[in-house]
Structure formats: C-alpha cells, structure tokens
C-alpha cells in the first residue's frame, strides 16, 4: 500500500456507505453515516472521520451497535425532552435528536435535550451546525463511557475519564454567512488524533501524553499498548474542570451513566449529550444581535497577525478552509487506516477489491508511493 492515499469525497462516501449497507444498515442510515464521517475528514478532523469505521463495523457484528435504530422520546415536559438513543448509530440519533430540539425551541423559545445511550455521536460540531443552520444558538456537553478511561485529571497520574467534548454554535450573522462553531475535546487532543498519529508512525506534541508511570511522553502507542498511560486535559485545571462538568451534565443528568470502575466492560462507545437550544429571536437582543455579533467579529479579526501567524480566525473557520481545500484536492488517508477500513468491509462481505475500486484507491498489489484517487 501507498504511505498515503488521496480519495475524492464522493467516492469515499460511496465506499463507506457500501460497507454500512453490507453490515445491515438501510440506505438512509448508510448514507447518513458515510456523509457524517467524510464531512469530518473534509473538515480536517480525521480523528472523527472514516477511520472510525473499523470501530463501528465490529460493534455492529457483535451486537454492541444497533443498526436502523431511531431516537425514542422517553419524556416530554415542554422545554425539556428526555431521549434514548438505543445504542443506535450516533449519526442518525444525533440528527434526529437535534431536529426534535430545534422544532421545540422554535415553538416555545428554548429546549433542553437530554440524550442518553447513543453510540458514537461523531463530530459534535455537526450537531451545532445543524442547530445554527436552523437559526438556533446551541451548546452541547458530551461524555463518553463504555471504553476504558484515557484522560487523566489535572494533578493525577492515570486515566479517569475520556475526551468529553464541548460544543457551542452561533447562527450566521448574514443570510449567506457562516456560523461560529466552537467544537473541542476537553483533553489536550482528541483520542482519535492520537490513533491517527500512531497509524502514521508520528509522535504527538510534548505536553500531550503521560506514560503508565505518570511521566511525559510523545509516543502515541502509550495510549493504546499496555501498560497504557493517559492523555492530559487541555489548559491544565481549566480543561479538567470543563471535562468534569461535561461528565456530570451529560452522563448523570441525562439518565445515562458516568465513568465508574468497570463501566467499560461493554467495550463499546456510548455517548450521552445534554444540549441547550435557544431561539435568539426570543432573547433580549432579538432586534440587534446580528449587528452586534458582526461588529464584534470584525473587531477581533482586525487584530494584526502575530509573527509567523496567518492572522485571526473565528471558531469554525479553520474547518471551512480545510473543507474547501479537501473538496478540491481530495482527502488524505494513511495506509494503516485504509487497511483497517478495507478489513472492516471484508468482515461483512465487501471484498478489498470492491472497496478499493469504489473509492478509487490503489489495491494492495499496486506500486508504492503516494496515490491520488
């Protein structure tokens, strides 16, 4: 295999969807999963992209991820919706949950959506973008259980929770403008980014990981190969504090679960998410918030670039720039990750030649070197 292959987005969607179809998903679900994963890659978040498929497909085969599930409303008390994901694909469950919350916020001004027991919700920014596209402000707290902890608390020397994302999205200030979307793990980097570095044979930045003895390391294998170490929280006590809040709001208050000893025995990815969705037209700044937000963003952008910097970018802008580039030039995928995707397809009867042909990727017997598909 080539060290890196480059695949155009539409062909990658088709390849991923074919594997999901073969594993039992209906056409709608296969398309939603594929497009969600590929959009993550297009946005530069390879950690949440098609490299997740080798986690998903074995989970489907072993019954840890339920295909063709839809979100279930367990409680409806006006401004609060209690939802259950039934361990279905988060790409479906998350979209349906946000659609319910958006509809309710449009009716009464705001909605708190408590979603429990979804399989991996993917890039949480997509749910913020869904709300923003509907003209809604949203904020999302997520916890992750079902897998061994991989993030250390500030001041600790071993892992006690996972990457617990936080997202906030603000609608565009102009009809054809772009939303402001902050989407981040509360760990120094996302767990998937450590996996990507390991597959590429690269080191991670210093200050990112500790080994099994609590000592700093840059070797990404530390997070996956026993005896395992841990990822550090971002911003020391600040990221740690936000991770604790996300764990409690998403895990405890949704009726889901928090990280506890042995809670990872299921060996699957379970996400719980508390989302707050607000119609800005009902707030005090309803008549002028767009002008105020636009003026503030313009003021921030006007800061002179720091030495060696390309200048100030607003949250969400790096993803949009990367989408434009990768939509035009293709999505790079390292050979190890692509081999894992091909193997996931073979697990459900999609042979390697078919996956490679659908994606336009080189087969294993092709010559070495970078390849563009």
**CA atoms within a 13 Å half-sphere pointing along the CA-CB vector of 329:** 12
Q: What is the pLDDT of residues 143-181, one digit of tens each?
A: 999 999 999 999 999 999 999 999 999 999 998 899 999
User: Distance between CA atoms of 94 and 97, rounded to whole angstroms?
Assistant: 5
Q: Which residues contact 226 (CB under 8 A, 6 or more apart)?
A: none
State the pLDDT at residue 369.
45
Strands 230-231 and 209-210: antiparallel
β-sheet bridge partners, residue 233 = 187
What's the Cα-to-Cα distance from 90 to each of 29, 85, 98, 128, rounded to whole Å?
Answer: 10, 8, 11, 14
Sorting pLDDT into bands at 50, 70 and 90, what band is 1?
Answer: very low
Q: Which residues are CB-contacts of 21 (< 8 A; sequence separation ≥ 6)?
A: 27, 30
- Interval 39-43 mean pLDDT: 97
Strands (E), the chain: 4-7, 72-76, 80-84, 110-118, 137-145, 166-170, 180-184, 209-210, 216-217, 230-231, 270-278, 331-334, 371-372
**Rounded to an integer, what distance in angstroms lies between the CA atom of residue 30 and that of residue 142?**
24
Copy the structure tokens of residue 219: 């070797």
Opening angle at CA 18, ends 14 and 24, nearest 5: 145
% the chain with pLDDT above 70: 97
Is the pLDDT score of 40 beyond 80?
yes
Query: What length does the chain have?
Result: 373
Going across the sheet that includes 4-7, the strands are 331-334, 4-7, 371-372
The rounded distance, in Å, linking the Cα atoms of 212 and 182 is 32
Residue 136's region, left for phi above 0, alpha for psi from -120 to 50, else beta, is: beta
Per-residue DSSP letter, 250: I
Q: Summarize the confidence of residues 314-328 as an average pLDDT.
A: 97
Q: What is the average pLDDT across 342-346? A: 98
Strand partners, 187: 233
Whether residue 370 has pLDDT greater than 60: no
Average pLDDT, stretch 30-36?
98
Least confident of 30-39, 170-179, 191-200, 221-230: 191-200
C-alpha span between 284 and 282 (Å, rounded): 7
Identify whether 227 is preceded by a cis peptide bond (ω within 30 of 0): yes
Q: Does residue 265 register a pLDDT over 90?
A: no
- The pLDDT, as a whole number, for residue 365 is 46
Average pLDDT score over residue span 198-211: 94
Q: What average pLDDT does the structure give for the chain?
A: 94
The mean-pLDDT minimum among 10-14, 38-42, 87-91, 263-267 falls in 263-267
The whole-number pLDDT of residue 252 equals 97
pLDDT of residue 367: 37
**CA of 359: how far to CAs of 179, 289, 323, 330, 373, in Å?**
31, 45, 18, 11, 7
CB contact at 8 A, 182 and 194: no
pLDDT at 373: 54
Q: Which residues, listed in sequence order, are joined to residue 151 by a DSSP beta bridge?
A: 161, 231
User: Residue 72 pLDDT > 70, yes or no?
Assistant: yes
Q: Alpha-carbon distance 115 to 173, whole Å?
A: 29
- Cβ neighbours of residue 270 closer than 8 Å, sequence gap 6 or more: 87, 117, 118, 119, 144, 145, 146, 256, 257
The model's pLDDT over 87-112, given as tens digits with 9 standing for 90+, comes to 999 999 999 999 999 999 999 999 99
pLDDT recorded at residue 193: 87
Measured N-to-C along each axis, helices 9-22 and 53-61 cross at an angle, to the nearest 10 degrees, of 10
Across 338-349, average pLDDT: 97
In the prediction, which pLDDT does 364 show?
53
Q: Which domains does the chain have, with CATH numbers?
A: 1-68+330-360 (1.10.1530.10), 74-86+93-118+129-187+236-283 (3.30.1370.60), 188-232 (3.30.60.50)
């Amino acid at each position: 295999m080539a060290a890196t292959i480059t695949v155009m987005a539409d062909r990658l969607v088709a390849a991923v969807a074919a594997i999901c179809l073969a594993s039992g998903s209906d056409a709608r679900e296969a398309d939603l999963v594929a497009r969600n994963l590929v959009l993550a890659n297009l946005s530069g978040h390879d950690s949440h992209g098609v490299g997740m498929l080798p986690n998903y497909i074995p989970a489907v085969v072993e019954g840890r991820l339920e295909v063709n599930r839809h979100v279930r409303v367990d409680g409806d008390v006006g401004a609060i919706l209690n939802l259950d994901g039934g361990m279905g694909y988060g790409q479906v469950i998350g979209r349906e949950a946000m659609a319910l919350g958006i509809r309710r916020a449009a009716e009464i001004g705001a909605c708190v959506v408590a979603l429990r027991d979804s399989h991996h919700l993917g890039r949480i920014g997509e749910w913020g973008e869904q709300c923003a596209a509907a003209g809604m402000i949203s904020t999302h707290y997520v916890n992750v259980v079902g897998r061994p902890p991989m993030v250390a608390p500030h001041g600790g020397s071993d892992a006690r929770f996972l990457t617990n994302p936080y997202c906030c999205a603000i609608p565009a200030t102009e009809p054809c403008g772009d939303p402001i979307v902050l989407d981040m793990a509360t760990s120094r980097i996302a767990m998937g980014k450590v996996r990507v570095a390991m597959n590429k044979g690269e080191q991670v930045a210093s200050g990112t990981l500790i080994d099994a003895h609590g000592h700093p390391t840059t070797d990404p294998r530390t997070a996956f190969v026993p005896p395992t170490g841990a990822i550090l929280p971002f911003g020391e006590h600040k990221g740690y504090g936000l991770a604790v809040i996300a764990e409690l709001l998403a895990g405890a208050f949704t009726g889901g679960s928090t990280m506890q000893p042995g809670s990872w025995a299921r060996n699957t990815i379970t996400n719980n998410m508390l989302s707050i969705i607000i119609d800005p037209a009902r707030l005090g700044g309803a008549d002028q918030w767009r002008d105020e937000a636009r003026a503030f963003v313009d003021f921030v952008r006007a800061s002179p670039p720091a030495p060696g910097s390309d200048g100030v970018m607003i949250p969400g802008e790096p993803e949009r720039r990367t989408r434009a580039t990768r939509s035009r030039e293709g999505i790079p995928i390292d050979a190890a990750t692509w081999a894992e995707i091909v193997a996931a397809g073979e697990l459900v009867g999609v042979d390697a030649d078919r996956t490679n042909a659908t994606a336009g990727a080189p087969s294993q017997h092709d010559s070495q070197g970078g390849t563009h598909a």
